[in-house]
Structure 1
Amino acid sequence: MLFLALADLKQSVASWRLWTLLGWLEIRQRYARSRVGPFWLTISMGVMITSLGVVYGTLFGQNMHDYLPFLASSLVVWSLFSQTILEGSVAYINSGPYIRQVSTPKLIYMLQVVWRNLIVMLHNFLIIIVLLLIFGVKDWETLPIFIPALLLYVLNALWIAMVVGLLSARFRDLPQIVGALMQVAFYVTPVIFRPNALNRFTFIVEWNPLAYLIEIVRAPLIGQMPSPLAWLVAIGMAVIGWTIALLLTGRYLKRIPYWV
């Protein structure tokens, strides 16, 4: 089972021209005949960051000089994570016609989802760059850590998308459940509030693996070094999660065309 999944993953990665092209074309089709194009995503994210920054920054009594870069970094990387999982849950279902008619590696549809959302993140990342230029970079030494942290972050998002995508192909009610769970995860993960803001309920953050996962990508951008515990949790999630995802994929890979 594991070897079957690894073979499919290898073939999918080797077909990078296909899934990168499909991901890019989907974004272009979504904003066809629009002068601004995909940058509408950046505008929408910028409006959200400004609105939430003013409202929650005022409610929490935050210094906007520090809070806006924190909020922007959190929302941009969280959007990458959540959208990868949400779109991954319906990736096989939406690609049903291709899966039934063309013999292709199945995981290319998951890689297509990741690639598409990475493109969206790059558009939204302009907001973080602007805020860092306005408020200044806190520590240049931490910025290079963002690259390996982002890779580990994406690997965790990908294995979750693989699992929920496979299960959603079999159980069609699951995408709605995944959407509801991601909404709950957003509110209990330190995205719009700082991890130390929950005085009496710190266990919500301490026992939330997503809090550590988002820390490794957010911290370098705001001039902080991710804690060793955050790295340990993120790496542990990737190792355990990929093992489970590959085992499930290998076991049910041949059933996907019948499910979709």
Structure 2
Amino acid sequence: MFSLALLDLKNSIASWRLWTLLGWLEVRQRYARSRVGPFWLTISMGVMIASIGVVYGTLFGVKMAEYLPFLAISLVMWTTFSQTVIDGSVAYINSGHYIRQASTPKLIYVLQVAWRNLVILAHNFVIVLVLFAIYGVKSWASLPFFIPALLIYFANALWMSMVLGLLSARFRDLPQIIQALMQVAFYVTPIIYRPDSLKRFSFIVEYNPLAYLIDIVRGPLIGQSPDPLTWGVTIGMAIVGWFVALMLTGRYLKRIPYWV
């Protein structure tokens, strides 16, 4: 079972031209005949960050120079993660007509979702760069940690997409449940507020694995190197998650065409 999943993953990665093309075409088709194109995503994200930043920054009594970069990085990275997981949960369902008609590696549809959201991340990350230009980079020494952190971040998003995509193909009510859970997760994860703001209910952050995922990519960009616990939790999640995802994929890979 495990070897079957690894073979499918290998063949899927080898077909990178296919899933990168499909992912890019989806982004282009969504904004066909628009002069601004995918940068509408950047504009809408920028408006949301500015609105939330002014309101909550005033409520929390923090300086905009500190809060706006924190909020922008948090929202941009969370949007990428949550959308990857949500889109991944319907990756096989939405590609059912391809799966039934062509004998292709199945994981290319999960990689297609990840690539599409990576393209969207690149557009939204412009906001972070603009804020860096305005307020400056907090620490150049911590910036290099962002690259391995981003890889770990996407590794966790990928295995979740693999598992949820498989389960959603079998149980069609699951995508709606996942969307609801991601909305709840947004509020219990320190995205709008700082992790140390919850003095009384600190366990919400301490036992929330998504808080560590956000922290590992946000920390290097706001001048804080992730601590060993954050690295350990996120890497451990990726290792265990990929093992489970590959086991489930290998066992039920041949049933996907019948489920979709």
The alignment's TM-score, normalised by the length of structure 1, stands at 0.99
- The percentage of aligned residue pairs carrying the same residue is 75
Deviation at 1:259, TM superposition (A): 0.2
The alignment status of 1:251 with 2:251, answered yes or no, reads: yes
Quick one: distance in 2 between partners of 1:61 and 1:161?
38
What residue identity is the alignment partner of 1:237?
Answer: M
What residue identity is the alignment partner of 2:200?
Answer: R
SS at match of 1:224: coil
The alignment status of 1:225 with 2:225, answered yes or no, reads: yes
Quick one: distance in 2 between partners of 1:48 and 1:86?
20
Deviation at 1:109, TM superposition (A): 0.2
Deviation at 1:42, TM superposition (A): 0.1
Quick one: distance in 2 between partners of 1:9 and 1:239?
16
Corresponding residue of 1:52: 52
Deviation at 1:77, TM superposition (A): 0.5
What residue identity is the alignment partner of 1:103?
Answer: S
Corresponding residue of 1:90: 90
| Cα offsets for 1:156-204 (capped at 9, x unmatched) | 0000010000000000000000000100110000000000000100000
Quick one: distance in 1 between partners of 2:117 and 2:14?
20
Quick one: distance in 2 between partners of 1:235 and 1:29?
35
What residue identity is the alignment partner of 2:140?
Answer: W
SS at match of 1:210: helix
Large movers: runs of 4+ above 3 Å: none
Q: Where does structure 2 lack aligned partners over 5 or more consecutive residues?
A: none
| Cα offsets for 1:207-237 (capped at 9, x unmatched) | 0011111111000111111111000000000
Quick one: distance in 1 between partners of 2:171 and 2:144?
41
Report the RMSD for the aligned CA atoms in angstroms.
0.5
Quick one: distance in 2 between partners of 1:56 and 1:203?
22
SS at match of 2:83: helix
Corresponding residue of 2:35: 35
What residue identity is the alignment partner of 2:131?
Answer: L
Corresponding residue of 1:169: 169
1:2-21 equivalence runs, <5 A = 2-21=2-21
| Cα offsets for 1:16-43 (capped at 9, x unmatched) | 0000000000000000000000000000
Corresponding residue of 1:149: 149
Quick one: distance in 2 between partners of 1:18 and 1:45?
29
| Cα offsets for 1:123-175 (capped at 9, x unmatched) | 00000000011001111011111111000000000000100000000000000
Deviation at 1:69, TM superposition (A): 0.2
What residue identity is the alignment partner of 2:168?
Answer: S
Deviation at 1:60, TM superposition (A): 1.2
1:57-96 equivalence runs, <5 A = 57-96=57-96
What residue identity is the alignment partner of 1:100?
Answer: R
Quick one: distance in 2 between partners of 1:154 and 1:26?
20
SS at match of 2:61: coil
Corresponding residue of 2:131: 131
Corresponding residue of 2:100: 100
Corresponding residue of 2:214: 214
What residue identity is the alignment partner of 2:31?
Answer: Y
Quick one: distance in 2 between partners of 1:226 and 1:51?
28
Quick one: distance in 2 between partners of 1:175 and 1:58?
36
